[in-house]
Chain A
C-alpha cells in the first residue's frame, strides 16, 4: 500500500494559514503513550488506587508469608544446629535422645558402645559424648531445684556446643577419678544461689552427695523442665558409679551417644560404619529391626527444610491466588473504563490514533496499575513481614527471590488481564464510538 502523499497540493493553495512542521516520525512517540496512560490514571485517582489495592494486598501477602515461612525454617535450623553441628545421635531403638534411663532394655546403647567407638580412633570423629540422665532434686541449704542430672564426657562441650559462662567444665581427670564436681544450668544456679557468679565454689547436694560447683552454663533462653537451663552436668563415671547405678550387666546403658563428625560430608559414611560396628557388638542381624538407631543431623535438617519449604510454597501459593484476584480486579476496572471512555477512544481515533496506539495506552494503564501495586505491595510486605516477625517472635527473612517473583508476577498479571480490555478498546469502530453517549 502506497503511503499517502499528504503534501501533494504544495504548489497550489495553502490549505491552512500556517504550515505545520513536517512529520518527522509519523507515529506516536512511546513516551507520549506512557504520559497519556499516566495522566488518564491520575485523573481517576480514587479508582486507580482501589484497583491497585488488590495487587498491593496480593504482592504484600506473597512477600510477607514467604518471609515468615523462611523465617520459621531459619529459626528451627538454627535451634537444631545450636545443639551441636554435624551430629550423629545413637539411641536405643524406639526411643529418642532425652528419654529416661530407667527401664531401658539391657541391650540398648551402652557405655561400652561409646568406648568402642572411641577405640576406633577414626579421624572423621571429632568428639564423642555419651549421655545418661535422671531427674533429681538438687539442693543447697534450704533451696531446692529440680533438675535433669546429666552424666557425660568432657567432649560434651564441643559436641553439644555447650560452653560455661562462669568457671570451667569438668575434665577427663575429673571423670577418671569420678570426682564430685558439677556444672550447673543457668536456672539451677538462679534457683539455688540467685546468680551464676555466686554459685561458683559452692556445693550442692545430689542424692546426698556434695558436689563442688565448678562451672555454670549461660542462659540458653529456654526455661522449664528438660530445658538446658535446668541441667546439671557431672562426669559420666561419677554418674554411673556414685549417683545412679542401674547396670545389672556391668555396662551402663546410655540415653544417647552423640558423635560429632569432622564435616557434614563425612557424616553419612561415618553413620554406616558406626551402624555396622554397633550391630555386630549387639549381635543384630536384621537391619530392619536393630535394637538401636543412628540419627543423622544432616538428614533431619533436610527433612525439616523440605517440610518448611513446602509450607513456604503453600503460603506463597495462597498469596499468589490473591494476586490473581487482584489481576481480575484490574481487568474488571479496565473493561468498565473502556466502556466509559468509548467516546474518548472514538475522538482519539478520529484525530489519528492508530489501533495500536489505543492498545498501547490501555495496556500501559493496566500494567502501570499492577506494577505500581507490585512496588507498593513489596514495601507493605516487607513492613508486614517485620511486624509479624516481631509479634510471633519468629525472625522473618525477606527472600529476595520472592520479591522478584511477586513483582514479575504482578506485572505479568497486569499485562495478561489488561490485554483483553485494551484489545477491545483498540478494535472499537471509530464511527460507533463517536456516536456513543
Chain B
C-alpha cells in the first residue's frame, strides 16, 4: 500500500466578505496516495481553486487538518510553507507563468535557486529536466520565443526540478489547443508511469476522463470521488490536424 501524499480531513476555508464569513470550503476530506494521477473538477465558484491553493501550500485552511507526506501542515508559518512548497510541490499554471526576462534554463533553475542549490548542480539538474521534456535545445532562449506548448513543457520541467512529491497542475491545458494540450497530458501520464504523483485541476471533462480518478467539488463540498479507467488520448495527429501551437496565448 502506497503512503498518502495528500491527506485532507474536514478542511474548511472561510473568506471575509463584507464582515460576513464566506465559506469557500465547507469540509473536504480525501487522500491522494503516492503515484496516483487524479483530476480535481468543479465549476467556477465551487472552491476547487481554494482547495488547490491549500494543497499547494499557497494558503492555509481555516480549520480541519491537512497532512502532506504524513506531516500536519495545517498551520505552518508563511516561511515554513515557502520552504516546504519549494521542496514538495511542483506547480504548473494555466498561463505558464514563466519569468519573461530569464532564459528557459534559468526559469527551470529558479526553484533550485530558492532551495539553495549550488550553481553547478542547479544548471545540471535544470538541463536534465529540459532534456526530460524534450527542450534541451531551447535552454538558452527566452520564453517569449517559444510556442505555448513549449512554454508549458518548460513549466513542467521547472515544476519537476526539485523532484517534488506532488505535481500540481492548474488548468494546464487551458491556454493550449487540443493537440498541444493532449501532448502535455501525455507527458503527465509518462511522468506518472515513472512514479510522479499528479493532481490536475480542470473544468474540462475531456481531461478528467484521461485520469484514473476524479474528485468533484461543488459549493465547497466534495460531490464525488470517482475511480474509473483512464481513457488515453488518441494519437495527436488524429485529433486536431490544424492545431498548431497557438503562440498568441503565450502570456507567460
Contact: B161 with A1, CB < 8 Å? no
Contact: B117 with A23, CB < 8 Å? yes
Q: Smallest distance from the beta carbon of A284 to chain B beta carbons, Å?
A: 83
> Which B residue's beta carbon lies closest to that of A35?
B113
* Docked pose: A353 CA to B110 CA in angstroms: 9
Chain B residues contacting A346 (CB-CB under 8 Å) are: 97
Contact: A351 with B86, CB < 8 Å? yes
Asked if B93 is at the interface (CB within 8 A of a chain A CB), the reply is yes
Q: Smallest distance from the beta carbon of B97 to chain A beta carbons, Å?
A: 5
The 0/1 profile, CB within 8 Å of A marked 1, for residues 1-27 of chain B is 011010000000000000000000000
Contact: A431 with B82, CB < 8 Å? no
Contact: A17 with B116, CB < 8 Å? no
Contact: B101 with A39, CB < 8 Å? yes
Within 8 A of B (CB), among A143-189: none
Chain B residues contacting A29 (CB-CB under 8 Å) are: 113, 116
Chain A residues contacting B5 (CB-CB under 8 Å) are: 9
Contact: A350 with B195, CB < 8 Å? no
Contact: B69 with A6, CB < 8 Å? yes
Contact: B34 with A9, CB < 8 Å? yes
Contact: B71 with A28, CB < 8 Å? no
A20-B112, A347-B97 are contacts. A13–B195 as well, Cβ < 8 Å?
yes
- Interface size range of chain B in the complex: 35 or more
* Docked pose: A108 CA to B116 CA in angstroms: 87
Contact: A16 with B191, CB < 8 Å? yes
Asked if A19 is at the interface (CB within 8 A of a chain B CB), the reply is yes
The 0/1 profile, CB within 8 Å of B marked 1, for residues 242-268 of chain A is 000000000000000000000000000
Contact: A9 with B69, CB < 8 Å? yes
A17 in complex: contacting residue of B35, B88, B132, CB < 8 Å: B132
Within 8 A of A (CB), among B79-116: 79-80, 82-88, 91, 93, 97, 99, 101-102, 110-116
* Docked pose: A349 CA to B83 CA in angstroms: 10
Chain B residues contacting A430 (CB-CB under 8 Å) are: 58-59
Asked if A32 is at the interface (CB within 8 A of a chain B CB), the reply is yes
Q: Smallest distance from the beta carbon of B86 to chain A beta carbons, Å?
A: 2
* Docked pose: A344 CA to B93 CA in angstroms: 13
Asked if B125 is at the interface (CB within 8 A of a chain A CB), the reply is yes
Chain A residues contacting B40 (CB-CB under 8 Å) are: none
Contact: A352 with B85, CB < 8 Å? yes
Q: Smallest distance from the beta carbon of B117 to chain A beta carbons, Å?
A: 6
A17-B191, A343-B97 are contacts. A353–B69 as well, Cβ < 8 Å?
no
Within 8 A of B (CB), among A19-53: 19-21, 23-29, 32, 36, 39-40, 43
B69 in complex: contacting residue of A3, A8, A18, CB < 8 Å: A8
Contact: B82 with A21, CB < 8 Å? no
A15 in complex: contacting residue of B58, B78, B101, B165, CB < 8 Å: B165
Contact: A14 with B194, CB < 8 Å? yes
Chain B residues contacting A28 (CB-CB under 8 Å) are: 113-114, 116
Q: Smallest distance from the beta carbon of A360 to chain B beta carbons, Å?
A: 12
Chain A residues contacting B93 (CB-CB under 8 Å) are: 350, 434
Within 8 A of A (CB), among B118-147: 118, 121, 125, 128-129, 132
* Docked pose: A343 CA to B98 CA in angstroms: 10
Contact: A23 with B116, CB < 8 Å? yes
Asked if A348 is at the interface (CB within 8 A of a chain B CB), the reply is yes
Asked if A287 is at the interface (CB within 8 A of a chain B CB), the reply is no
Chain B residues contacting A352 (CB-CB under 8 Å) are: 82-83, 85-87, 111, 114-115, 162
Asked if A79 is at the interface (CB within 8 A of a chain B CB), the reply is no
* Docked pose: A36 CA to B114 CA in angstroms: 11
Contact: B114 with A9, CB < 8 Å? no
Asked if A365 is at the interface (CB within 8 A of a chain B CB), the reply is no
The 0/1 profile, CB within 8 Å of B marked 1, for residues 334-368 of chain A is 00000000011011111111111100000000000
A15-B196, A28-B116, A347-B97 are contacts. A431–B53 as well, Cβ < 8 Å?
yes
Contact: A26 with B83, CB < 8 Å? yes
* Docked pose: A352 CA to B86 CA in angstroms: 4
Contact: A5 with B34, CB < 8 Å? no
Asked if B233 is at the interface (CB within 8 A of a chain A CB), the reply is no
> Which A residue's beta carbon lies closest to that of B131?
A18
The 0/1 profile, CB within 8 Å of A marked 1, for residues 57-89 of chain B is 011000000001111010011111011111110
* Docked pose: A13 CA to B118 CA in angstroms: 26
A348 in complex: contacting residue of B88, B114, B191, CB < 8 Å: B114
Q: Smallest distance from the beta carbon of B107 to chain A beta carbons, Å?
A: 9
Asked if B56 is at the interface (CB within 8 A of a chain A CB), the reply is yes
Q: Smallest distance from the beta carbon of A114 to chain B beta carbons, Å?
A: 83
Contact: B162 with A20, CB < 8 Å? yes
Asked if A142 is at the interface (CB within 8 A of a chain B CB), the reply is no
Contact: A5 with B115, CB < 8 Å? no
Chain B residues contacting A21 (CB-CB under 8 Å) are: 117, 121, 125
What are 8 A-B contacts defined by CB distance under 8 Å? A16-B160, A17-B132, A20-B163, A21-B121, A24-B116, A39-B101, A352-B86, A353-B114
Closest 8 pairs between A and B when the two form their complex, measured CB to CB = A352-B86, A25-B116, A6-B87, A13-B195, A352-B114, A16-B163, A354-B82, A20-B163
- Residues on B close to A: CB < 8 A? 2-3, 5, 34-35, 53, 56, 58-59, 68-71, 73, 76-80, 82-88, 91, 93, 97, 99, 101-102, 110-118, 121, 125, 128-129, 132, 158, 160-166, 191, 194-197
- Give 13 A-B pairs besides A20-B162, A356-B79 with Cβ atoms closer than 8 angstroms: A6-B69, A14-B194, A15-B164, A15-B165, A23-B116, A26-B116, A27-B83, A348-B110, A350-B56, A351-B158, A352-B114, A353-B82, A354-B83
- Residues on A close to B: CB < 8 A? 1-6, 8-9, 12-21, 23-29, 32, 36, 39-40, 43, 343-344, 346-357, 430-431, 434
